[in-house]
Amino acid sequence: MQQDSALITFVLDESGSMGHIAQAARDGFNEYLDEQVGHGGPTWWTLTTFNTRTNTRFAAIPGAEVRPLGDDYSPGGMTALYDAVGRSITKTQRYLERRGDDRPSDVIVVILTDGMENASRKWTARRVFDLITEAEDSGWQFVFLGANQDSWSVAQNMGIRKGAVVDWAPNPMSHKEAMAEASYATRDYRALKQQQTRYRDRRTK
């Protein structure tokens, strides 16, 4: 396992209701990406966008190879949230299995949506709950950013703890603030893991 390294999987809503804050969504992801540079060790990135369908834009690539989100992010369609989350987690699990002992030490999943699930065909809330609970038990960190819903209830129904939820209003300013909270939470989590690793290493010497 590569200590102080991370795989960050970002699951971003691209449904029609995100249309009026599309530029804020692009800027928010790009700023989040920039803010993680220099924090911790090597980082690999996966970005999945979703509406009626799920689109993995890139999977487990080094930060230096990530291209900023641009005009190809074009909201439309419905909200297949469960399909996007389920697919993203299972893809991440398979990647970690392939990496074996060389896998990143930290796994962080950020989920951002401004609407309720209404279009999933393969995944249900129960299956996603079981999947996330298993992942959290393995040390994964989840952050859920929700708008236009009871974000805490939606997150809990998927197995995400209350302390990892950010509720935001569907406007550019609130979106920016929510992304700043997600960025801080990611950096804080990685810093804490690094401290724990160093402490454990000292104890074993």
pLDDT per residue of the chain (205 residues) written in tens, 0 to 9: 788 899 999 999 999 999 999 999 999 999 999 998 767 789 999 999 999 999 999 999 999 899 999 999 999 999 999 999 999 999 999 999 999 999 999 999 999 999 999 999 999 999 999 999 999 999 999 999 999 999 999 999 999 998 999 999 999 999 999 999 999 999 999 888 777 766 556 666 5
Q: Which residues contact 63 (CB under 8 A, 6 or more apart)?
A: 33, 36, 37, 42, 43, 44, 45
- 133's tokens: 């609970």
Q: Where are the domains of the chain?
A: 2-204
Using only C-alpha atoms, the chain has a radius of gyration, in whole angstroms, of: 16
> Strands 2-13 and 43-50, how do they pair?
parallel
Q: What is the pTM of this model?
A: 0.95
The confidence score (pLDDT) of residue 41 equals 87
Question: Minimal CA–CA distance to 107: which of 72, 131, 127, 75?
Answer: 131
- 204's tokens: 């074993």
For domain 2-204, give the CATH number: 3.40.50.410
